[in-house]
Every structure is written in C-alpha cells, then in structure tokens.
Structure 1
Amino acid sequence: MATEASQTHPFRSVPRTTEFQPNPISVSPPTISATHDGLEFWQFMVAGSIAGSVEHTAMFPVDTLKTRMQALSGSVSVRPIGVRQALGSILKLEGPSVLYRGIGAMGLGAGPAHAVYFSVYEHFKELFSREKPNNPVAHAAAGVFATVASDAVITPMDVVKQRLQLKSSPYKGLGDCVRRVLMEEGFGAFYASYRTTVVMNAPFTAVHFATYEAAKRGLTEVSPESASDERLVVHATAGAVAGALAAAVTTPLDVVKTQLQCQGVCGCDRYSSSSIGEVIKSIVVKEGKQGLMRGWIPRMLFHAPAAAICWSTYEASKTFFQTLNQSNHNYH
C-alpha cells in the first residue's frame, strides 16, 4: 500500500570504497523537499485539496439536509422530524436545486482547508510515528493538529454555507452573505463557532484517523496477497467505518456549532456568547437531551460515504504523485 513506503528511507548509505571517510552529508544525493511516502509537501496539499473538493461536492445535498434539521433545534415550535420527512418537504416545497444552495462557499473553503488538513496530518504523522509506524495515538495526535489548522481556514466559509442552506435564507448569495455579516455582525461572527468547531473536530479527527489507520491495517492483513489489487476498496471501507463512528460520537457538538453559526437567522435562537455550555443548556431545557442528537442520521449518512470518497481520492492522488516522482527519478 502507499503508506508502506514511509517505512523505508528513499536514500541508502553509500558504500565506503576508500581509506578516506567522507562526511555522509557530502556523498548523499542532492536533497529534494520530499517527506515520507516519497511525496513532497506540496503534493500532499494538492492531493488533500482534490479529496476535499470531491467529497463535499458529492455529499453536499446530505449536508444541507443535516443543517436544516439541526438549525432550529432550539426552537420550541419545531417538532422533531425524520430524514425522509425533511427531504420530502424540501423537494416538494422548494425543489431539488435548493439542496445545492451554498455549494460555492464550500467550494472556496473545502479545497484550501483540506490541503492544510492532510499536509499537516502527514507531517505530524511522520514526526510522531518514527519509532512506531502503526501507533494509533500518534495518528490521533496528528489528526488533532491537522484539524486545528484546517478549521481556521474553513470556518468562515462554513458559516456562509450554513446560512445559505437555511430555509428562506435572507441572503441572495455568497457575496451578499459575506457583506451583510461583516456590516451587521462584524468579522468576529465568522469565527463565533471556531472554538466549538475545534472542540468537536479534535475528538472527531482523533477517532477518525485512528480508526481509519487501524481499519486499513486490519483489512490489509485479512488478505495481504490481494491488498495491492484491492487498495481502493480498502481505503473506501476503512474511510466509511471511520467517518460513521466519528460522526456519531460528535453529533452533539455539531448541533452546537450549527446553532452558533446560524444564530439570529431564519428563526434560530441568538446567544449572548459563544459558550458551548450555554448553547447545550438552552437546547436541553427546550428539547431534552435528545435535542443534542438532532440530525445524527444525515450526519452519519454524510460522513460515512464522504470519508470513503475522501480517503479513496486522497490515496489515489498520492499514488499518482508517487508514480510521477518515481518516473522522474528514473528519467534523471
């Protein structure tokens, strides 16, 4: 598999053929900015950007459904509804095109954010895993560093995306939403949910990456002789398992994040601060603890296939760059 390349250093030591012992640095091949897996840092960024864009574009309608179900969870007048009922209502009253409203904002945010996400993950994964390549704690820790960095990039566009996804959204489009939020609420509104997002995505990513690496390793060990031929299936299956588990565990914090990002818009409650505790208390008082699990089904329906798509695309992109780098190396 692609990740196994990280276990072998790309350059072997040069044999000593004379009495003179040169400095090892002087006899090494010219240094290239390659990291583990035989890829350069920018190649991890490109692979991650492609994976994120494909993932969010493919799964955007499900994300819209999740946002609709979560946004009004604090309202007394809203009764809990199922996925089928919510989807049917949207299609009947607004049409299928509304499921893609806000995709432009996600398009602008997903590419750069996932470029940061995967490149930071690969860097810290290599840094933390040198002594033990299959260390799940190292994978989880690397994932936490990755999400803190990527969330700083994507949070503003996620705010815009979710506000555009709301029923009867007052914004005409991406530009109008950005302009009005800046004028009416200030720049800080774009980061009102950042702390919640990080608090949510840190355990999400830790569970996700640790589960993905463990599932991938387990699936490979089941049939090692065909692991190379079934690489795409392995990545997709491991990604789906990891995405579903991480999504289920972190749904309450995702509800809080949606509430903070959509507060004051289309009937959503407004909060005096960005306190996670305040939002949780408000939801529990009005709906009970079940209100914190609003939208968990579409969230899992989003993250399981989304993670499968994302990891498959990412690993395929890595394989492409590895092949390209190897061919360039052989050519020279």
Structure 2
Amino acid sequence: MSEISNINIQKLTVVQQAIASCCGAIITSLFVTPLDVIKTRLQAQSNPFHKGKCFLYSSGLKDHVCVRENEDSKAWYKKTGHFKGTLDALVKIIRIEGVKVLWSGLPPTLIMAIPTTAIYFTCYDQLCEALKNRLEKHDEHIPVIAGSLSRFGSVTVVSPLELVKTQMQYRRLSYKQLYLCISTKVAVDGWVSLWAGWTSTILRDVPFSGAASGSISAVTTQPFDVVKTHKQTQLWDSETLKIPQRDDKSTWAVMRKIVARNGITGLFAGITPRLFKVAPACAIMISTYEYGKSFFSHLNEKKNQHP
C-alpha cells in the first residue's frame, strides 16, 4: 500500500484517527458484504462432502440431504446448491434465500471492522511517523513495513470474528445455532480453535498491505483466501458433528488436497467477486479515512486558533 496520509497526523489524536478509520470501514462493509457472501459460497461449494447416505431434496434447487453414521450417532446436514459463477450465485441466492441473505454475517463484519480498521490505520500512521524518525524520511520501504506489521496485528485480534462471519455467510444459522456450533468446537479443541485459518489469513492479508496493486495482490493471495474459507467451514463442520478429523490441517496440506480434487483452478474459486470488490472497497475506505482525518485536522486548527 502506498503512503496514504498527506495530513500531519501529529495534529490528530489517536481517537480521531480511529473514528475516521471506523467510519470508512462501516461504509465499505455495507457495500462489499454481498460480494463476500458470494465469494464464500463459491469457495465452500468446492469442499469435499462427507460420505454418507444421500437423499434428494428440492427447494427450487436440487440439494442433497445426507446422513452420516458416526458410531452410534447420526448427523444430518445439507449440501448447498451448485453455483456456476458469480452471477449464477447471485441470482440463485436471491431467488431461493432472499435478498437479505446477501448481507449474512454483516453484524460480525461491522463489529470486526471497528478493531480491524482502528488497529490497522492508526498503527500504520503511527509506525510510519516512528520509522521516518529512525530511517530516511522518504525511504520507500516505510509504508510496506508499517502496513505489514499493522495488518499482522489487526488480523490476529479479529481472527475469531472473521471465523464467525465466514460461518454465517457459508450457511444460514440462527444466533443460537451459531453459539452451539462455536461452544461445541471450543469444548472439543479449546479456545485456540477460534483462530482456525489464521495462518492462511496472514498469508493472504500481509502481502496485500504492501502490494502496489490491489488487483494483482488479490489474484496472488487468492489461494490463501480459499484455504482460509475451507478451514473455517469444512473442518469446523466435521468436528462440530463429532466426526474424527485426523488429516493434516496445515495451509499447504489443505492446498494440496484442493489441487488434487479440483485442479489448480480450485485455488482461485471466488476470485471474480473478490476482484470486483477490491477497487471500490479500497477507494471507499481510503477516501472516507482521508476525509475524516481532514475534517478532524481542520477542527483541531479552529480550536487552536480560538482556545
């Protein structure tokens, strides 16, 4: 990411920077959530479905409802309809599930946006200033270093909320069902399970923070986004249903399985909606953030002129 601040941030308080970034995040989230839902559905449908007895069920689309026998227990779950692409997914989701589903996961997205953007943009500006004091003022590496460190911190803090958002976008869950799913998972694997997909998210987002072109970075990091979705949906499904999961869960192991099952194109599932959201999301976020900083900068100047 290129240096985004043209305003002397010493005129702004940390709280003012956080408010400016959060406003941008809220507006951006409202715009990109439908694309995020479509991307998650496209990525999740390529996951292998557990073996079991299958029964045909129709609700506008032909879905498969399967039962898997696990020792003495039986667990039912439904396979989502197949989407041929971004437009096909959009039409089918609206027709079968309604328009509101396109904003599934919006509450955790908005909750996640506050700490993510507050941590990232505030740390970014502060680190840039600190590094300028230690290094050459116009060192071209400063934005890359500051962006990468800030993204690493923000991703780590909000990773559990990212998981909740992905679960809500992947399938229609009530808050009670979501709580049951999460509590069962934590009981089985501990609190660390809430950071499922953290490694692949880091590999996806940190390079994004230092890349010159958002679109190029989106394509390059897409395989890690697919792996992140896979680990936050299918692996959770199998363990929530108390199905033993002995396979290697590492990022590279999951990536190899995806390639073996769907070919190299499987690593780029959902790339179209992700590319569609990159440019406008960045434009909205940066513009709103800079406008917010400008507003607070002028406000502070007026206060200094008229104490």
TM-score category (smaller protein): 0.7 to 0.9
Alignment partner, residue 107 of structure 2:
104
Identity of matched residues, %: 29
Shift of 1:54: 1.9
Alpha-carbon distance, 1:329 to partner: 1.1
**Alpha-carbon separation, structure 2, partners of 1:157 and 1:322:** 32
Instruction: Report if the CA contact (8 A) 1:49-1:115 is conserved.
Output: yes
Residue 109 of structure 1 aligns with an amino acid whose one-letter code is M
Q: What residue is the counterpart of 2:250 in the other structure?
A: 275
Matched AA of 2:122: S
> Does residue 229 of structure 2 align to residue 258 of structure 1?
yes
CA contact (8 A) 1:72 1:267 kept: no
Structure 2 equivalent of residue 201 of structure 1: 205
Measured in 1, the distance between the counterparts of 2:296 and 2:140 equals 26
Q: Which has the higher strand share?
A: 2
Unaligned runs of 5+ in 2: 50-78
Correspondence 1:154 to 2:139: no
Aligned position for 2:5: 3
Task: Point out the more displaced range, 254-263 or 41-50.
Answer: 41-50
The answer to which of 198-207 and 275-284 deviates more is 198-207
2:41 corresponding residue in structure 1: 68
Given that 1:160 and 1:177 are in contact with CA atoms closer than 8 Å, whether structure 2 keeps it comes out as no
Normalising by structure 1, we get a TM-score of 0.73
Alpha-carbon separation, structure 1, partners of 2:238 and 2:180: 19
Distance 2:193 2:144 in 1: 30
Q: 1:279 to 1:158 in 2, by over 3 A?
A: same
Deviations 1:150-186 (A, max 9, x none): 0012210110011011135476466455444434543
Preserved contact between residue 62 and residue 298 of structure 1 (Cα < 8 Å): yes
1:248 to 197, 203, 219: 219
Superposed displacement of residue 301, structure 1: 1.0
Answer yes or no: is the 8 Å Cα contact 2:18–2:117 preserved in 1: yes
Q: 1:275 to 1:97 in 2, by over 3 A?
A: same
For the pair 1:314 / 2:273, whether they are aligned, the reply is no
SS in 1 for 2:5: helix
Residues 54/184 of structure 1: CA separation in 2 closer, same or farther (3 Å cut): farther
The CA distance in 2 between the partners of 1:103 and 1:271, in whole Å, is 33
8 A contact 1:45–1:114 mirrored in 2: yes
1:289 aligns with 2:264: yes
- C-alpha separation in 1, matches of 2:286 and 2:250: 33
Supply the AA of the counterpart residue of 2:46.
Answer: S
Aligned-pair CA distance for 1:321: 1.0
CA distance in 1, matches of 2:186, 2:238: 20
Q: What is the SS of the residue equivalent to 1:250?
A: helix
Question: Equivalent residue for 1:46?
Answer: 19
d(CA) in 1 for partners of 2:196 and 2:84? Answer: 27
Distance 1:177 1:56, change over 3 A: farther
Which residue is equivalent to 1:235? none
Contact 1:74–1:282 under 8 Å retained in 2:
no
Q: Could you tell me which amino acid in structure 1 is paired with residue 298 of structure 2? A: T
Following TM superposition, by how much is the alpha carbon of 1:290 offset from its aligned partner in structure 2, in angstroms?
A: 0.7
Q: 1:182 to 1:2 in 2, by over 3 A?
A: closer
Partner of 2:194: 190
Instruction: Please tell me whether the aligned partners of residues 2 and 37 of structure 1 are also in contact (alpha carbons under 8 angstroms).
Output: no
Q: What does residue 214 of structure 1 align with? A: none
Q: What's the offset of the Cα at 1:264?
A: 3.6
Mark the structure with the bigger radius of gyration: 1
Instruction: Please point out which of 129, 132, 138 is paired with 2:132.
Output: 129
